[in-house]
Structure 1
């Protein structure tokens, strides 16, 4: 095993897949998205994952997104790719990720099927055996491991983490107690700031932040306040920003993706409120609600440049 194993900490950036009016990937907008996240202090970049509309990308588009991310990162932070879905396609993505110099990859759920634990284990095992790159399992939807399955996968040294998008805290307690620091524990819940206090208490040291794409300074203020035990500040940011945005996010399926693009458009970034089906763009009323929240957020929690 030659690949360097890493410890994941802090706020993880998940860039979107910005589109031109033609429907093609807007490479310039993507470059600015990745650069912005890194400039704002995020600790890692995860490209072509859920926020990047992984499920809609062609093989060529997937490769373009990886190239742009690596070019924008310039080695400043680790860059991970998303792999998953159809097993054959996932194996191709792993090899491409390895070729393009990714730090590792995030294993997304398999396509469609709710398999037995043995089948899920075999799916992940097959992907892990394809490369020595660092790998993180994303637990959500039809990919939910039990303790025995996860422990069986620990024999693969390249498995470095589990990202939880289920929110079953009993399972998370069991995992962290029996497995401990053998894995990095990542909070991957939608609008992860909402649940991060509970996850942090269990040893989850990092989380994916959707709002960091358009208000990263508030993500950092929130997480810093949480780590420093500033409960009053955490509560204020919850009530002023996080919970109101989360209420909008819950209004439509797919808003976990499209609301990010709407927020980016509102703050003046070169990303349009355009998504690919089956995700739908943010509706006008919800867009206006988000505008009001962000206007208040920027006035009360201004970005402080060092």
Structure 2
């Protein structure tokens, strides 16, 4: 899965001020990140506010991204949930011809055991017609997918090709990198620790800040992959403050504020998310204008 090495970006779903999906803004963002040099696009992940989209809106987002992309970059589609049967049903019925892989989050809210997580992804692997990227994000799911579970899945199911690891634990990431099968990819899901993970042997990132500053962030990852450490860290520290800011009051409220300043889309988010406050908005604006 060489196409998944480097920087993928988790696309937002832009909304107009009336909260409808803004397809023209989404096209602008797709072109902006492609022109910025990212390696692939992730559609309908957490950053897309997928939990608030209707079925028709999800199809609209998918079709808009496919149209805007024009086959230029690989596409990854978020297909996950805490109802295993429902996820499997989608895998068996959706047309995946435009996609390279799916990104599937570990079941949230239910708080399954490691065996439950294993069985969930076993069912997904057996049903998916395209490769699967696991997604571990304990801060959202309330359960941590342990390295032993990930490695077991990676060894037993050849179409489980990668993990987006967002536990925020560099030691856990290193254990994954140490013990993974040769071609299995460990992808950062945490922008701030992306470079250390890459230098430890990770394959890159699925990023949020890379959407706002695609040129610099994707170049940082490429420098890291090429072991140009000092140059990579110069870019890391140039961007680092913005990473803290965009997550300070929730994702994607922060990155949408960046996009508003850049003139790419409105900063509209759907409840239960709300816009960043005036203080954070001013700090983000100051950073973007000085960047």
1:173 offset after TM fit, Å?
2.2
TM-score by length of 1: 0.85
Find the residue that maps to 1:106 and give its secondary structure: strand
Root-mean-square deviation (CA, aligned residues, Å) is: 2.1
Q: Give the whole-Å Cα distance in 2 for the aligned partners of 1:22 and 1:262.
A: 17
* Rounded Cα–Cα distance in structure 2 between residues aligned with 1:82 and 1:107: 6
- Secondary structure of the structure 1 residue equivalent to 2:47: coil
Q: Which moved more, 1:33-42 or 1:94-103?
A: 94-103
Q: Give distance in 1, aligned partners of 2:150 and 2:219.
A: 34
Query: Matches of 2:229 and 2:177 in 1, distance apart?
Result: 25
Separation of aligned partners in 2, 1:263 and 1:12? 18
Partner of 1:196: 194
Distance 2:79 2:179 in 1: 27
SS at match of 2:106: strand
Aligned counterparts of 2:63 and 2:273: Cα–Cα separation in 1: 25
Counterpart in 2 of 1:229?
A: 228
Deviates more, 1:83-92 or 1:285-294: 83-92
Find the counterpart in structure 2 of residue 40 from structure 1.
36
Mapped pair 1:131 → 2:128:
yes
Task: Verify the 8 A CA contact 2:125 2:159 in the aligned structure 1.
Answer: yes
Q: Map of 1:70-149 to 2, 5 A cutoff?
A: 70-87=66-83, 88-95=85-92, 97-99=94-96, 101-141=98-138, 142=141, 143-149=143-149
How far, CA to CA, are the matches of 1:19 and 1:209 in structure 2?
20
CA distance in structure 2 between the aligned counterparts of 1:84 and 1:220, rounded to whole angstroms: 26
Q: How far apart are residue 239 of structure 1 and its match? A: 4.1
User: In 2, Cα distance between the equivalents of 1:213 and 1:197?
Assistant: 16
2:270 aligned to which of 241, 262, 276: 276
Query: Which of residues 241, 248, 252 is equivalent to 1:251?
Result: 248
**CA contact 1:81–1:97 (8 Å) conserved in 2:** no
Contact 2:77 2:102 in 1 (8 A): yes
By relative contact order (CA 8 Å, sep 6+), the higher-ranking structure is 2
Give the whole-Å Cα distance in 2 for the aligned partners of 1:272 and 1:200. Answer: 33
Q: 1:73 to 1:93 in 2, by over 3 A?
A: farther
Structure 1 Cα separation of the partners of residues 100 and 41 of structure 2: 10
Q: Which runs of 5+ in 2 are unaligned?
A: none
Q: CA deviation at 1:164?
A: 0.4
Check whether the contact 1:245–1:293 (CA below 8 A) recurs between aligned residues: yes
CA shift at 1:278, angstroms? 2.1
- Corresponding residue for residue 173 of structure 1: 174
Cα distance in 2 for partners of 1:153, 1:27 equals 37
Contact 1:139/1:165 (8 A) holds in 2: yes
Unpaired stretches in structure 1, ≥5 consecutive residues: 298-306
Can you list the C-alpha shifts for 1:92-149, whole angstroms capped at 9, x where unaligned? Answer: 4434553453211100232411110111111111222212211100011235222332
Conserved? CA contact 2:102–2:132, under 8 Å: yes
Relative to structure 1, the CA distance from residue 265 to residue 250 in structure 2 (aligned partners, 3 Å threshold; closer, same or farther) is closer
| Shift in CA distance, 212/174, structure 1 to aligned 2, threshold 3 Å | closer
Given the superposition, is the C-alpha separation of residues 50 and 107 from structure 1 closer, same or farther in structure 2, using an over 3 Å criterion? same
3-state SS of 2:51 partner: helix
Aligned residues: 285
User: Segments of 4+ in structure 1 off by > 6 A?
Assistant: none
